[in-house]
Amino acid sequence: MDIQTEINNGLMTITINRPERKNAFTNAMYVELADAFRDATHSSGVKVVLIKGHEGSFSAGNDLGDFLNSPPTSLDAPVFRFLRMISVFPKPVVAQVQGLAIGIGTTLLLHCDLVYAASTAKFSMPFVKLGLCPEAASSLLLPISAGYQKAAELLLLGDLFTALKAYDTGIISDVLEPDALEAHVQAQVKKLLDLPLTSLLTTKRLLKSANKSQVAEIMAEEGKLFMNMIPQEPAQEAFSAFGEKRAPNFKQFEGQA
């Protein structure tokens, strides 16, 4: 199974389990993730969700081959369904990040409540480099947490950045040494599990309430623009360049908008 779920003493652990592809997501995996969050929403046996990657990576983002074979064509596509589910999930979500967190591997963290990363983790939101635009309401949430200039640097340039920078921009809660990460996450999860569920649910609802409608609106707008940009020349050039292991030539499209 590329997405593994386990429930134990109130904790649902979701493990992204595709290490041979650095845990890159396929459409089938988005379906499984959305279903896991749906089930956890309604399960009295789940109080907290922990999401992590298997064997050294969180996620390298979309599996490009799967993405190009079955790109999203509506807001009901598996990727958008998953993003909606995690964005409105009412219970605490904790993320444990090591290795790569690329694209949606970074933006999904904006919808988690506690995010802990190894000091060696690397992040990137390379949407512009792919001729695309941000998703997961990151164009709204990242400026709120990071400030406009820091968010613009990360989203416009799409470069890799460190766990310390992710902490500085509010994407993650704390940075741990790799050998201390799992123990710290488990300790934080235990604290949550020992607290009253009604208080956790109410506090999270209050924290999210100010931006709830905006998140849904921006996520839908981003999704429509994202889908519209996939067949356009800059994105197709970026995908071809990736497959051919060369730098994309976007200068040929200068003057287009």
Distance CA 248, CA 36 (A): 37
49-75 pLDDT tens trace = 999 999 999 999 999 999 999 999 999
Does 256 score more than 70 pLDDT?
Answer: no
As a whole number of angstroms, the distance between CA 17 and CA 59 comes to: 9
DSSP symbol at 17: -
pLDDT score, position 59: 98
What is the DSSP pairing of strand 114-118 with strand 122-124? Answer: unpaired
Cα gap 33→30, rounded to integer Å: 5
Secondary structure class of 90 (helix, strand, coil): coil
- CB-based contacts of 116, cutoff 8 Å, min separation 6: 94, 95, 96, 97, 172, 173, 174, 175, 176, 181, 184, 185, 188
3-state secondary structure of 187: helix
For residue range 190-232, what is the model confidence (pLDDT) as tens digits?
999 999 999 999 999 999 999 999 999 999 999 999 999 999 9
- Percent helix, strand and coil across the chain, each rounded to 5? 50, 15, 30
Tokens of 223: 């999704």
For the chain, percent of residues with pLDDT exceeding 70 = 99
- 44: amino acid identity, one letter: S
Strand partners, 162: 122
Q: Please report, for the chain, the start and end positions of each structural domain, with discontinuous segments joined by +.
A: 1-176+202-257
Which CATH code, of 3.40.50.620, 3.90.226.10, 3.10.20.30, 3.90.550.50, is assigned to 1-176+202-257?
3.90.226.10
pLDDT mean across residues, the chain: 97
Question: Cα separation of 154 and 83, whole Å?
Answer: 20
User: Strands (DSSP E) along the chain, which ranges?
Assistant: 3-8, 11-16, 48-53, 93-97, 100-102, 114-118, 122-124, 161-162, 174-176
- Position 255 pLDDT exceeds 90: no
User: Around Cβ 1, how many Cβ atoms within 10 Å?
Assistant: 9
- Residue 74 in contact with residue 46, Cβ under 8 Å? no
The pLDDT of residue 50 is 98
User: What value does the mean pLDDT take over residues 80-105?
Assistant: 98
